[in-house]
Amino acid sequence: MSRLVVVSNRVAVPDAQSATAGGLAVALRDALQSCGGVWFGWSGKTAAQTAETPSITEIGPVTYATLDLGRKDYNEYYNGFANRTLWPLFHYRLDLAEFSHENYAGYLRVNTLFAEKVRPLIGDDDHIWVHDYHMIPLGRELRALGIEHPMGFYLHTPFPAMEVLLALPSHALLVESLCAYDVVGFQTENDLRAFRDYIVHEANGEELDATTMRAYGRLVHTEVFPIGIERGQMEAAAERAVEQGAARRLERTLHNRSLMIGVDRLDYSKGIPDRFKSFERFLELYPAHRGQVSMMQIAPLSRSEVPEYKNIRDTLEGQAGYINGRYGDFDWMPLHYLTKNFQRETLAGFFRLSRVGVVTPLRDGMNLVAKEYVASQDPQYPGVLVLSRFAGAARELDTALLVNPYDHDAVAAALNQGLVMSLEERRERWQSMMAKVRENSLEHWRERFLKVLRAVPTPMALQSSRDTGAASKATSVAGA
């Protein structure tokens, strides 16, 4: 089997804290362990200047290669174009998107640099898998450096509707860059449709069949690969967690009251201010629940140097204070708002204790928390998931209570419905969601993508089939 070269903004180099590595990190590491290869990206650290050479950590057959970013690159590429332009735009927040030529130049500069630095680590027979919006131009840069290898790209965020994308001054180059890859994967049909619309209506490209598009003189395989979770680990962690530690302590503080839970990075796309408004409406419209139910919102700080992320923090602190001041009592606090980060194993226990999981992003690529909440439930007494229709996860978890997060009264009604729902209905809804979570595991997601990517021949395989005079038409996916 040929080696894999993974490129992503962040790299999870195994270390003393590897037990806390995220699901995606583990899934990619497993793939790399089995076929060998390289994982290249930002170290997560900043320095005065961007490092000249990557730091290399060799673990078994895997080379982890990371670069520290200089402050200018970090500000313009990560805080700037990636998180102040592409992130809001891809999450339909044109009002928050900033178009700065300096940041755009920084984004291109870092992608060019990453391409130059990863180039020497690529072997003749490797397949390359690039992740997420930070790295869209990387494939094009690698092609410019003469890399003809099979290259796949996976977008973890939504891909915006064409009319939204057109607001980005550099939309044309961005989409052309996506077409430098052989395989482009999306979370949902919606995202794929938006990409195809752009190719057909804006880029003068064409749809050749269900998965193949022709644009910018190339053929691109496009497909939906919804990301999954490590369901077994989450289930086991939830079972263990309720017997011990934090979940046990949390249960004691509840005094038999019901718990509703939200867990999100502190990000405006997650819709937490709207969620708090919905919770306030719930307390107003369903007074019987006052004193009987609490909501715990865990929102670890994220991208804190980006101004929009600071603003949302101020908003939430104000809202939480108002709700607790207005509705709380000496022996009951309606809303627990924590900006602390918890290990996933601990969250599993919290999820299992919670009668309602509240996942109401205004827009989300997938939202793994929704799937983790489902996987953590006790099959006999499952909780209810209230899920935004604008999360990618809503496509699969369609027996959750699907809500429009902008409609606060409707979300309040769903919270009430979740609390009063019969055990029979809870089980039915949960079983259907759990079947989907089981079916589409993280491993399944990874293998589906890699199967398509591996069907694209490497330059070495092409050469040897040319040598034997047997080059087949099917090998022309990489270039029209």
The partner in contact with residue 132, picked from ligand L263DTV3, ligand UDP, none with C-beta cut-offs of 5 to 8 angstroms by kind, is ligand L263DTV3
Q: Site residues (CB under 6 A) for ligand L263DTV3?
A: 9-10, 24, 132, 156-157, 227, 302-303, 364-368
Instruction: Establish whether 91 is a catalytic residue.
Output: no
In the numeric block, the tokens 């070495």 are attached to 460
Segment 345 to 364, residues that bind ligand UDP, using CB under 6 A: 347
> Is residue 403 a contact residue for ligand UDP (CB under 6 A)?
no
Could you give the CA distance from residue 53 to residue 32 in angstroms, rounded to a whole number?
22
Looking at the Cβ atoms of 126 and 364, the one nearer to ligand UDP is 364
Residue closest to ligand UDP when measured from CB atoms: 368
Q: How many CA atoms lie within 13 A of 335 on its CB side?
A: 26
Q: Is 82 in the site for ligand UDP (CB under 6 A)?
A: no
Contact 415, 278 (CB under 8 A): yes
Residue 134 binding ligand UDP, by CB under 6 A: no
Residue closer to ligand L263DTV3, measured from CB, 157 or 399: 157
Nearer to ligand L263DTV3, 301 or 471 (CB): 301
Minimal distance, residue 227 CB to ligand L263DTV3, in Å: 4
Cβ closer to ligand L263DTV3: 24 or 293? 24
Contacted by 263, from ligand UDP, ligand L263DTV3, none: CB < 5 to 8 Å by type: ligand UDP
**Could you tell me if 181 and 153 are in contact, meaning their C-beta atoms sit under 8 angstroms apart?**
yes
Residue linked to tokens 């998107």: 97
Q: How far is the CB of 341 from ligand UDP (least distance, A)?
A: 4
Annotated catalytic residue, options 171, 191, 364, 408: 364
- Min CB(157)–ligand UDP separation in Å: 8
User: x-or-dash pattern for ligand UDP, window 283-322, by CB under 6 A?
Assistant: ---------------x-x----------------------
- Residue 298's binding partner among ligand L263DTV3, ligand UDP, none (Cβ under 5 to 8 angstroms by kind) is ligand UDP
d(Cα 310, Cα 318) in Å, to the nearest integer?
13
157 contact, one of ligand UDP, ligand L263DTV3, none, CB 5-8 Å limit per kind: ligand L263DTV3
Part in contact with ligand UDP (CB under 6 A); list of ranges 162-170, 207-215, 323-331, 340-348: 340-348
* Nearer of residues 281 and 352 to ligand UDP, judged by Cβ: 352
Q: How far is the CB of 59 from ligand L263DTV3 (least distance, A)?
A: 21
Using the rule CB under 6 A, give the single segment among 142-150, 341-349, 413-421, 432-440 that binds ligand UDP.
341-349
366 binds ligand UDP per the rule CB under 6 A: yes
Residue 418: which of ligand UDP, ligand L263DTV3, none does it interact with, CB under 5 to 8 A by kind? Answer: none
* Cα 122 → chain centroid: 26
d(CA 163, CA 167): 7
> Does residue number 132 form part of the binding site for ligand UDP (CB under 6 A)?
no
Query: Is 41 within 8 Å of 13 (Cβ atoms)?
Result: no
Q: Is residue 369 within the footprint of ligand UDP (CB under 6 A)?
A: yes
User: Which of these is catalytic: 156, 171, 221, 289?
Assistant: 156
Active site residue 364: yes
- Closer to ligand L263DTV3 at the Cβ: 392 or 457? 392
Residues 3-42 that bind ligand UDP (CB under 6 A): 22-23
| Count of other CB atoms within 10 angstroms of residue 431 | 12
Closest CA to 443 of 61, 7, 2, 24: 24
C-beta of 380: minimal distance to ligand UDP in Å?
A: 24
**Shortest distance in whole angstroms from residue 296 CB to ligand L263DTV3:** 21
Which of ligand L263DTV3, ligand UDP, none interacts with 369 (beta carbon under 5 to 8 A by kind)? Answer: ligand UDP
Q: Provide the pairing of β-strand 37-47 with 335-338.
A: unpaired
Q: What are the CA-CA distances from residue 284 to residues 259, 334, 355, 358 (Å)?
A: 18, 12, 20, 18
* By the rule CB under 6 A, 246 interacts with ligand UDP: no
Number of residues that bind ligand UDP (CB under 6 A): 15
Judge whether 185 and 224 are in contact, CB under 8 Å.
Answer: yes
In the block, which residue shows the tokens 């022709």? Answer: 214
Please list the active-site residues: 156, 364
Using CB under 6 A, list all residues that contact ligand UDP. 22-23, 263, 265, 298, 300, 341-342, 344, 347, 366-369, 372
